[in-house]
């Protein structure tokens, strides 16, 4: 007989659901549910913007899983430090390194579209972490 996931406020236990998960180094990251093991009462978590080799299994009652709402609350608090069009920033690329970039536009959800500058190569991109340069 298959077991039923717990009813946790803000967390929907279905494949693709978004949440935050705490890794083994005690850092919280945006994540998605990749698989659900109903027999062992576990979920496979994929940390967004990270390789799948870092995916982890968590008990579905784990305190290291929390709703994505907290991300939205943090974003609202960060609006004072927001970047603006033409700001020079450092943007994280797929190799997890930061490269010089320039903000092209700011989306309604607080994400930035940037022009990534690597040597003489420039690539417009979006949805990558940025820091002040």
Q: Exposed, middle or buried: residue 28 (CB in 10 Å: 0-12, 13-18, 19+)?
A: middle
Residues 23 and 67 in one domain: yes
Residues 63 and 22 in one domain: yes
pLDDT at 109: 62
Sign of the CA dihedral with 82 first, then 45, 14, and 69 last: negative
pLDDT at 44: 96
> What is the mean pLDDT for each group of 10 consecutive residues in the chain (133 residues)?
79 90 88 94 93 93 84 50 76 72 74 67 55 53
Residue 88 lies in a domain: yes
Residue 5 lies in a domain: no
Residue 115 lies in a domain: yes
pLDDT at 9: 82
Residues 45 and 24 in one domain: yes
Tokens of 88: 């020079």
pLDDT at 79: 47
Whose tokens are 């970039």? That residue is: 101
pLDDT at 123: 55
Residues 120 and 86 in one domain: yes
CATH number at residue 22: 2.30.30.140
Tally of structural domains, the chain: 2
pLDDT at 47: 93
Residues 68 and 87 in one domain: no
Dihedrals φ, ψ of 44, to 5°?
-90, 120
Expressed as residue numbers, the domain containing 111 is 82-132
Residue 4 lies in a domain: no
């Amino acid at each position: 007989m298959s077991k039923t996931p717990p009813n946790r406020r803000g967390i929907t236990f279905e494949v693709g659901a978004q949440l935050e998960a705490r890794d083994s180094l005690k850092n919280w990251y945006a994540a998605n549910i990749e698989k659900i093991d109903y027999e062992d009462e576990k979920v496979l978590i994929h940390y967004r913007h990270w390789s799948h080799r870092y995916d982890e299994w968590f008990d579905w009652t784990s305190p290291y899983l929390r709703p994505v709402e907290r991300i939205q609350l943090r974003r609202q608090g960060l609006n004072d430090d927001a970047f603006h069009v033409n700001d020079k920033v450092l943007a994280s690329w797929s190799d997890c390194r930061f490269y010089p970039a320039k903000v092209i536009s700011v989306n309604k959800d607080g994400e930035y579209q940037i022009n990534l500058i690597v040597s003489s190569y420039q690539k417009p991109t979006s949805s990558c972490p940025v820091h002040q340069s």
